[in-house]
Chains A and B, each alone.
Chain A
Amino acid sequence: MPDFDKLRALAKETISRDDIKYLIGWRQGTYGYRTSPHFVRIPEDADQLIFSPLCSSNLATYLALAEKRPVPRGSQPDTRKVAILVKGCDSRAVVQQLVEQGIKREAVYVIGCPCEGVVDLRKLEEKYPHTLDRVGARWENGNVSLDLPSGNAVFPREEIVAGKCLTCRYPNPVIADVTLGENVEVSGSTAFEDINRFEVKSAQERWTFWRDKFNSCIRCYACRNVCPMCYCAECILDKQNPAWIQRSVNISENTAFQLARAFHLAGRCIECGECERVCPVEIPLSYLNRKLVKEVTEQFAFTPGVDPEAKPLLVGYRPNDKGDFIL
């Protein structure tokens, strides 16, 4: 894990370059365990940057989220690069956006941050309720160390990191113009034990499970908006005519929404787990996403967001695909 001085020095150097528009990183949040995305526009802004096990936001989302305002007459569009700090999973989102031509390589300057796993705040809050005092955190010899108001607390990594980090196979950025700190050991497995356990349940059991979850959905669309791969200029959910998904919040429309979202991410989801993290009603969306990741892995031996030269899965054809799902 890089120290903050190194990170801030690199950020200052980067933002001082003529070809960089702004830099996106993380800063300490306004209270407790929270961190916040941080936009560095002038060198002084870099003094607030941090990188710690609490930096869960996938900043790659902002590459596509930034609105393009009309360029005033007589001036040229700003074509400078956006510099972005990425963890391993975040870097896969950058690669997948490149593959899909959502962004151009020359438009982004990637600063890689090898990551040993980010804290799942829900797990942490079960152990220690949220506090108003700001809390710092570090990785230390495979553990996560937190400076709580009551004193320092050390948790074994497995106990406190997000579920996605336990299965993570890409803790080191797969694309980077510059890397901060040393690469970390890869410990995630390629097996899908969580999905396998779920799949053996009966159809009735699985539907009861999802019916209850989808029933609580309030359609705030945070899962869509936070997703670095959900960057369509026009989303099926917003269409009025025809209204593919009606505005009524009920089990039928909620299910249609959730399944449409999951299917649109088939072969594209890079497992950053942001959708699940932000859901205010705690729908375990990673089950849906990982089911499709499993299908894509088994049927097509394809892993999205690792090779910038790859073709998107669903626009390619390979004669050696298994194809045993074709009726």
Chain B
Amino acid sequence: MKLNKDKLADFLAAIPGKTIFGPQLCGETLKFTAITKAGDLCLTANNTNVPPKSVVFPQTETMLRFEQWATDIKTAEPAGEIVLFGIKPCDARAMLIVDNVFSWGVEDPYYLTRRTNSTLVGLACLDPCVNCFCTSMGGGPTSTDGLDLLLTDLGNSYLLEVLTGKGEVLCQAAGKLLCEASGADKDAAKLLQEKAAVQIRRQIDPSGVQARLPALWESPVWEKISASCLGCGICTYLCPTCHCFDMQDETEGVESRRCRTWDSCMFSEYTLHASGHNPRPTRRERTRNRINHKFSYFVDKFKVIACVGCGRCINHCPVNIDILDILSKVGEDVL
């Protein structure tokens, strides 16, 4: 199937009863927000600054509301149907990875309802950034993991690849807007996709990392890596697989709300005990935890690395802490 770009607005308008989120420029920041018209979509840019996890796992989410002197509790409205339009394959894979956490032991209704109600329309990543390394993490610029529909930009049109029933629903709704793709279109798409994969220059073999990490617990490598770390939340907040949150009751006047907000293991407050003791007292322990969590603990528990190689933590770190550099140090370090 194929969609001419001049029919994109009609394609989006034909999607029945779903809120459409797509990459939009908000000020200087590219992030996924609800779109009102196709013209607002920014589909040519690289990875969004803020990953689309912000849609299914909002940075701030009110779980329930209550009032002083009242006994009734108002729970959050269930989330409606959404479409994530133009999501990159790495960010879609990240959602599959995070699903593990929110359905582990206790099913998280807030996150899982949104996930069940979401349709992911991917856009093949034909011009990866310099720090993309998705191919090393089990993905690729045209990976279909987690996607319902994959679009490949052919210049004047998009080639559509239907991957699931949800994707099929969107195509059926679009009806006559779509036309049959020719063999030449498919060949052109294949060529572009192959070109993109070659463009990814940063590579690492993560297979030995999990096995090596436990023995490196007391290695001086962590002190070295973390010496320049500022302890800010950029790497974790912009990571599509980081999923830690805090819950707080917030009060304004007599009205209170229970909120869930993103939290970061790079903050000192994150592990601070009520007693004042902090089991991760310095940036050394926090950096070590971030790497161990992604490449060891998560793999133990869910058999998948909690990193998709989107490169955001490398691109945005103010002091050039580079996760690939860390992984290669972990590989080199003499046990």
Chain B minimum-CB-distance residue to A246 = B250
Chain A minimum-CB-distance residue to B328 = A30
Q: Is A39 on the interface with B (CB-CB < 8 A)?
A: yes
Of A139-147, A150-158, A209-217, the segment with at least 4 beta carbons within 8 Å of chain B is A209-217
Rounded to whole angstroms, the CA-CA distance of A35 and B319 in the bound complex is 7
Q: Is B114 on the interface with A (CB-CB < 8 A)?
A: no
- Chain B residues positioned under 8 Å from A249 (CB to CB): 59-60, 261-262
Rounded to whole angstroms, the CA-CA distance of A215 and B60 in the bound complex is 13
- The smallest C-beta distance from A175 to any residue of chain B, in angstroms, reads 23
Rounded to whole angstroms, the CA-CA distance of A37 and B231 in the bound complex is 14
Rounded to whole angstroms, the CA-CA distance of A228 and B183 in the bound complex is 60
Rounded to whole angstroms, the CA-CA distance of A34 and B267 in the bound complex is 24
Query: Which residues of B (170-218) have their CB < 8 Å from a CB of A?
Result: 201-202
Q: Is B39 on the interface with A (CB-CB < 8 A)?
A: no
Rounded to whole angstroms, the CA-CA distance of A158 and B318 in the bound complex is 23
Determine if B228 and A36 form an interchain contact, defined as CB atoms under 8 angstroms apart.
yes
- Chain B residues positioned under 8 Å from A172 (CB to CB): none
Q: Is B316 on the interface with A (CB-CB < 8 A)?
A: yes
Chain B residues touching A, range: 35 or more
Determine if B320 and A34 form an interchain contact, defined as CB atoms under 8 angstroms apart.
yes
- Chain B residues positioned under 8 Å from A215 (CB to CB): 26-27
Q: Is A268 on the interface with B (CB-CB < 8 A)?
A: no
- Chain B residues positioned under 8 Å from A132 (CB to CB): 130-131, 201-202
Q: Is B246 on the interface with A (CB-CB < 8 A)?
A: yes
Determine if A280 and B49 form an interchain contact, defined as CB atoms under 8 angstroms apart.
yes
Q: Is B232 on the interface with A (CB-CB < 8 A)?
A: yes
Rounded to whole angstroms, the CA-CA distance of A292 and B233 in the bound complex is 26
Q: Is A105 on the interface with B (CB-CB < 8 A)?
A: no
- The smallest C-beta distance from B283 to any residue of chain A, in angstroms, reads 7
Rounded to whole angstroms, the CA-CA distance of A32 and B129 in the bound complex is 12
Chain A residues touching B, range: 35 or more
Rounded to whole angstroms, the CA-CA distance of A111 and B248 in the bound complex is 46
Q: Is B145 on the interface with A (CB-CB < 8 A)?
A: no
Query: Which residues of A (24-38) have their CB < 8 Å from a CB of B?
Result: 29-32, 34-38
Query: Which residues of A (251-282) have their CB < 8 Å from a CB of B?
Result: 274, 277-278, 280-282
Rounded to whole angstroms, the CA-CA distance of A13 and B154 in the bound complex is 60
A37-B319, A67-B281 known; A213 vs B248 contact (CB < 8 Å) = no
A131-B130, A247-B261 known; A220 vs B231 contact (CB < 8 Å) = no
Interface string of B236-251 (1 = CB under 8 A from A): 0110000000101010
Rounded to whole angstroms, the CA-CA distance of A226 and B228 in the bound complex is 10
Determine if B130 and A222 form an interchain contact, defined as CB atoms under 8 angstroms apart.
no
Determine if B227 and A37 form an interchain contact, defined as CB atoms under 8 angstroms apart.
yes
Q: Is A291 on the interface with B (CB-CB < 8 A)?
A: no
Q: Is A159 on the interface with B (CB-CB < 8 A)?
A: no
Rounded to whole angstroms, the CA-CA distance of A61 and B321 in the bound complex is 16
How many interface contacts (CB-CB < 8 Å) are there between A and B? 128
Determine if A220 and B233 form an interchain contact, defined as CB atoms under 8 angstroms apart.
yes
Rounded to whole angstroms, the CA-CA distance of A55 and B315 in the bound complex is 17
Q: Is B36 on the interface with A (CB-CB < 8 A)?
A: no
Q: Is A65 on the interface with B (CB-CB < 8 A)?
A: yes
Determine if A248 and B261 form an interchain contact, defined as CB atoms under 8 angstroms apart.
yes
- The smallest C-beta distance from B278 to any residue of chain A, in angstroms, reads 10
Determine if B281 and A69 form an interchain contact, defined as CB atoms under 8 angstroms apart.
yes
Determine if B227 and A247 form an interchain contact, defined as CB atoms under 8 angstroms apart.
no
- Chain B residues positioned under 8 Å from A69 (CB to CB): 281-282
Q: Is B35 on the interface with A (CB-CB < 8 A)?
A: no
A32-B130, A34-B320, A278-B232 known; A216 vs B26 contact (CB < 8 Å) = yes
Determine if A281 and B28 form an interchain contact, defined as CB atoms under 8 angstroms apart.
yes
Q: Is A243 on the interface with B (CB-CB < 8 A)?
A: yes
Q: Is B42 on the interface with A (CB-CB < 8 A)?
A: no
- Chain B residues positioned under 8 Å from A238 (CB to CB): 267-269
Determine if B318 and A222 form an interchain contact, defined as CB atoms under 8 angstroms apart.
yes
Partner of A67, one of B59, B233, B282, B320: B282
Q: Is A225 on the interface with B (CB-CB < 8 A)?
A: yes
Q: Is B50 on the interface with A (CB-CB < 8 A)?
A: yes
- The smallest C-beta distance from B28 to any residue of chain A, in angstroms, reads 4
Rounded to whole angstroms, the CA-CA distance of A36 and B321 in the bound complex is 8
Rounded to whole angstroms, the CA-CA distance of A277 and B320 in the bound complex is 13
Determine if B318 and A30 form an interchain contact, defined as CB atoms under 8 angstroms apart.
no
Q: Is B29 on the interface with A (CB-CB < 8 A)?
A: yes
- The smallest C-beta distance from A44 to any residue of chain B, in angstroms, reads 13
Determine if B319 and A57 form an interchain contact, defined as CB atoms under 8 angstroms apart.
yes
Determine if A246 and B29 form an interchain contact, defined as CB atoms under 8 angstroms apart.
no
Partner of A30, one of B201, B264, B324: B324
Q: Is A219 on the interface with B (CB-CB < 8 A)?
A: yes
Determine if A39 and B228 form an interchain contact, defined as CB atoms under 8 angstroms apart.
yes
Q: Is A221 on the interface with B (CB-CB < 8 A)?
A: yes
Rounded to whole angstroms, the CA-CA distance of A131 and B31 in the bound complex is 23
- The smallest C-beta distance from B72 to any residue of chain A, in angstroms, reads 22
Q: Is A178 on the interface with B (CB-CB < 8 A)?
A: no
Interface string of A207-246 (1 = CB under 8 A from B): 0000011011011111011100000000000101001001
Determine if A219 and B281 form an interchain contact, defined as CB atoms under 8 angstroms apart.
no
Chain A minimum-CB-distance residue to B232 = A222
Q: Is A250 on the interface with B (CB-CB < 8 A)?
A: yes
Q: Is A130 on the interface with B (CB-CB < 8 A)?
A: yes
Determine if B28 and A221 form an interchain contact, defined as CB atoms under 8 angstroms apart.
no
- Chain A residues positioned under 8 Å from B131 (CB to CB): 31, 132
Chain B minimum-CB-distance residue to A212 = B27
Rounded to whole angstroms, the CA-CA distance of A98 and B118 in the bound complex is 55
Q: Is B304 on the interface with A (CB-CB < 8 A)?
A: no
Q: 11 pairs across A/B with beta carbons < 8 Å?
A: A30-B314, A30-B320, A30-B322, A67-B283, A220-B234, A220-B237, A222-B232, A226-B230, A246-B248, A278-B318, A281-B27
16 extra A-B contacts, CB within 8 A, seeds A29-B322, A220-B232: A31-B130, A36-B228, A37-B227, A37-B228, A129-B130, A213-B27, A218-B233, A219-B233, A222-B232, A226-B318, A247-B248, A250-B60, A274-B318, A280-B316, A281-B28, A281-B49
- Smallest CB-CB A-B distances: 3 pairs: A282-B28, A278-B318, A222-B232
